[in-house]
Structure formats: structure tokens, C-alpha cells
A and B are shown apart, each in its own frame.
Chain A
Amino acid sequence: MALTREQLAQRVAQEFQDGYYINLGIGIPTLAANYIPEGVEVMLQSENGLLGMGPFPREDEVDPDLINAGKQTVTMARGASIFSSADSFAMIRGGHVDLTVLGAFEVDCQGNIASYMIPGKLIKGMGGAMDLVAGADNIIVTMTHASKHGESKLLNTCTLPLTGKGCIKRVLTDLALLDIEDGSFILRERAPGVSVEEIVRLTAGKLVVPGHVPEMQFA
């Protein structure tokens, strides 16, 4: 079975290590904050100028001066700090954020990512995504493996305009966890009940399948 949104978030959260500063993109990446492993303390960076993002506020805590990068009202965690957008992206561009998780339309086996623009459709903008993929070393892209029509989103070469070039090394889809090394996807884990054959069929880009591909483990 393909992973649910919650399982994708859970699997992302398994990558969280104690003491990590983490930037989570909008959507599934944000959900990962609900599954931080026990005994692991992380600090969430929101690129509009908050390090140490807390949960959504209670009704009486709502503050229009305190939002996240998705423009949602949030709270501050203990030990949080506030800074300008320039400082925020100095942190990101300077490689100080330990893990970045974001979504994409396509990735390819060269480590390219396309996530912000579909020509001919409305162009909303890249926000901070280009800075995040250029600045971070440790990035996980979360996405569906293929479109509803069964077209692979893991390609040899991205067809959409790029958000970043040669910067993606790890992709988590609803079917598999893959690394990108030396111009190939490498299948590391498969979703419970999903066969290697199905993943091979739905991966258009060059794919290396090791002898043993374990199933993902969920608590």
C-alpha cells in the first residue's frame, strides 16, 4: 500500500536527530512535526524569521504578529528566537540548518528539483524554496511517486523549470525512500506491501536496486 500523508510525515520524522535545527515546508513536511521521536529535541525554523516554532495557538493565544512561513498563526517554543528575513536566509544559505524537508513536482537522478512553476498555469512564486535547496546539505524531498495517471515524477531529467540544480540527495515518496548518488536513484526502502517491481515500473529515471530492499518500519 502507498503511504498515507500521516505515514509520510512519520517516516520523515524518523530522520530527526536530537539537537537538529529543521526547516519544514508547507504540507506533508509540516505534518512531520507531529511525529518527533521520543527523547529527540528539535527546533523548527520558519523562514519568515522564527527559530523555535511551537504548535498552533489556542483561541486566546492567537497573535497576528506571530505567523509561520505558510502564514498560519503559530506560537513560540521555549528557547525560541526572532530575527529578520535577511538573518533567516543567512542561516539557511550559510548551511546552518541541519535538515530541510520540502515538496516537489519532479526530481531527477541528477539531483535536480522542480517544485514552483508549471508553465501555462498560474505562477505563484518560489517563496524561499530556491534558497532552501541551494543552502542546505541535508534535504529530504517528499512527494508522490507518480501522478494520478501513473506518470513517474522521478525522472532522468526534470521537464519543469528547476528550483535547484544538483542539490537533492534523498527523496521520500508514497512508495519508497531513495537516495540520489552518481546520477542514479538508489532504492533504499519500500513502503509496506509495495513490491520492488511496482517501484521499478513507476520510476522513469535511472534506478539502482540493491539486493535487499527492506520495508519501512513504523512504530
Chain B
Amino acid sequence: MSGFDKVVGSYEEAMAGLEDNMTVIAGGFGLCGIPENLIKEIKRKGTRGLTVVSNNCGTDKFGLGILLVDKQIRKMVASYVGENALFEAQMMSGELEVELTPQGTLAEKMRAGGAGIPAFYTATGYGTPVGEGKEVRQFKGRHYILEEAIQGDFSIAKAWKADRYGNLVFRKTARNFNPMAVTAGRIAVVEVEEIVEVGALDPDEIHLPGIYVNRLIQGTFEKNIEQRTVRSA
């Protein structure tokens, strides 16, 4: 077996080493492209005190929301958390700390975290509650705030296809935060719908190189839809 082979045999193995009070960065937007089985494994493990960084926190019944049931999340860093009654209750009672972060800033924090950039300036949030207490600098007459990168003990992500080396291909808008999330985790765990042999993917079509991936597992997915909107034929 090659040292580049990232495939692990079980979800238990995929999340081995996750401990209480760690930081987990998760890919996904709403319920689209979320690592649903890796989240279920965290629930099964019962790891607590987690800081979770993700654009959203799932719903009451699916995605990251299931980690709220047993109060496994201590702090949530997200841009939008509106779809979840349990989240609201725990936030209001103070059991759950929430750091609201603008969506683009969140994506860039993950990107920077994976790219060795400790912080960056952005105009987003200047003069708003998000900018409070942050360093401000002017460039060409405009105000920017300093935002720090995010890194995780673990990152969990979902891709469509991978080869055994962990080269990843995403599908449609299930890509979203997943590529950056992968890069920002010290241990990056990715679940996919299909693992193919090395060489089967065209190098030009790989969205994220396997160098960022530590563990890879093939799963089956429910892929729940939050807002099923259709037009009549």
C-alpha cells in the first residue's frame, strides 16, 4: 500500500483522535455538501466541548444540528444560523457561544488558515459589530479591518469523487466551503460518494489536490433538501 493512499476502513478510524474541546472545521452550505456521516460519527463518539466552524449549523434533525442534542458544541463560528430551534434555545440560555462571521470573511479565514496566511485585511464588517475591537487600517483612503485566519484540529468535508491519493472532485454547489475547510484542518477527513483508482481522474479536472487530505472514506448519503422549490412543467 502506498504512503499516499488516504483511504481508511471505517468512520471510527476516520475520526480517530478527535478529543473533547477540539476545533472542527466543517464544509457545506445549509445541508448541501455536508459531511453528513462524519457528523454522525462525532455524535456517536460523544465528543464534547467542540468549537465548530461552519457556514451554518444544520437543522434540528440533520447535519451539525444533531450535535446540539447532547450539547456537544460549546462554540459555533458561522455566518447564518437561522434554521434551528435547538440552536436558538442553547444560544439564548448561554450554553452555546456563537461568533457570527460574515460569509466571505469566513471562507477567507479558512482559505488563509490553510495557506499559511495568519491574517488579512478586509472592508467587510468595518463600522459594524463585526469590526469592534479589531485593528483598522486605511489603504487608498478606505477602511479595512484585520481578520485572523482559522485553523482546526480536524476538518471534515464532503466531495463527490476522489482517487485513493485523496485528489478531490466536487459536484455543483456542493463544493461551497469544502475545499477551504479541507485545507484548514490539521487532520483533514473527507468523505466521498465514489473512490476511484489512482490515474482515473484527469489531473486537469481535480478541484483540490490530495496533499491537503489525510483520511478518505467512501459513504452513502441522504442529501436532505432544505427548500425544495420546483416549477410546474
Given the complex, which residues of B lie within 8 Å of A112, measured CB to CB? Answer: 127
Q: Is the CB of B80 within 8 A of A164?
A: no
Query: When the two chains form the complex, which single residue of A56, A63, A64, A117 contacts B224, counting CB atoms closer than 8 Å?
Result: A64
Which residues of the partner chain A approach B226 to less than 8 Å between Cβ atoms? 67, 71
Minimum distance in angstroms from B89 CB to a CB of chain A: 10
Give B175-233 interface residues, CB cut-off 8 Å to A: 175-180, 223-233
At the interface with chain A, which of B4-12, B28-36, B39-47, B148-156? Answer: B28-36
Give which listed residue, A82, A85, A130, A166, contacts B55 with CB less than 8 A.
Answer: A85
How many A residues face the partner with a CB closer than 8 A? 52
Interface residues on B, range: 35 or more
Give the complex CA separation of A161 and B231 in angstroms: 37
Q: Does A214 contact B (CB under 8 A)?
A: no
Q: Do B125 and A130 touch across chains, with their CB atoms under 8 A apart? A: yes
- For the complex formed, measure the closest distance between the CB of B1 and the CB atoms of chain A, giving whole angstroms: 31
Report the minimal beta-carbon distance from A76 to chain B, rounded to whole angstroms. Answer: 8
A58-B128 Cα distance, complex, nearest whole Å: 41
| Interface-centre pick from A50, A83, A93, A126 (highest chain B CB count, 10 A) | A126
Q: In this complex, which of B55, B125, B128, B226 has the most chain A Cβ atoms within 10 angstroms of its Cβ?
A: B128
Given A64-B223, A85-B29, A134 contacting B125 (CB threshold 8 A): yes
Query: For A135, what are the chain B residues with a Cβ–Cβ distance below 8 Å?
Result: 104, 123-124
| Nearest CB in chain B to that of A74: its residue | B229
Also in contact, A47 and B125, with CB within 8 A (given A62-B225, A62-B230, A73-B225): no
A161 and B230 in contact (CB under 8 A), knowing A67-B173, A93-B124? no
Whether A208 is near chain B, meaning CB under 8 Å from some CB there, is no
Which chain A positions have C-beta within 8 A of B177? 84-85
Residue of B nearest to A133 (CB): B124
Q: Is A128 an interface residue (CB 8 A)?
A: yes
Establish whether residues A164 and B229, one from each chain, have CB atoms under 8 Å apart when the complex forms.
no
A57 touches B129 (CB 8 A): no
Which chain B residues border A59 with CB–CB below 8 Å? 230, 233
A55 within 8 A of B: yes
Q: Which residues of B contact A183 (CB under 8 A)?
A: none
| B90 located at the interface, meaning its Cβ lies under 8 Å from any Cβ of chain A in the complex | no
Per the bound structure, the CA–CA distance linking A95 and B160 in Å amounts to 31
Q: Is A162 an interface residue (CB 8 A)?
A: yes
Minimum CB–CB distance for B63 against chain A, Å: 12
Identify which of B16-24, B64-72, B105-113 touches chain A.
B105-113
Which one of B100, B160, B178 contacts A125 once the chains associate, using CB atoms below 8 Å? B100
**Contact A165–B128 (Cβ < 8 Å):** yes
Q: Which of A48, A63, A72, A125 contacts B29 (CB 8 A)?
A: A48
Enumerate chain A residues within 8 angstroms of B178, measured Cβ to Cβ.
84
27 A-B residue pairings within 8 Å (CB atoms): A57-B229, A59-B230, A59-B233, A62-B230, A64-B31, A65-B33, A65-B160, A67-B29, A67-B30, A67-B226, A70-B227, A76-B172, A84-B179, A85-B107, A86-B107, A86-B111, A117-B129, A123-B100, A126-B130, A128-B79, A128-B102, A128-B104, A130-B128, A130-B130, A134-B124, A163-B128, A165-B127
Question: Chain B residues in contact with chain A, CB under 8 A?
Answer: 29-33, 55, 78-83, 88, 91, 98, 100, 102-108, 110-111, 122-130, 143, 160, 170-180, 223-233
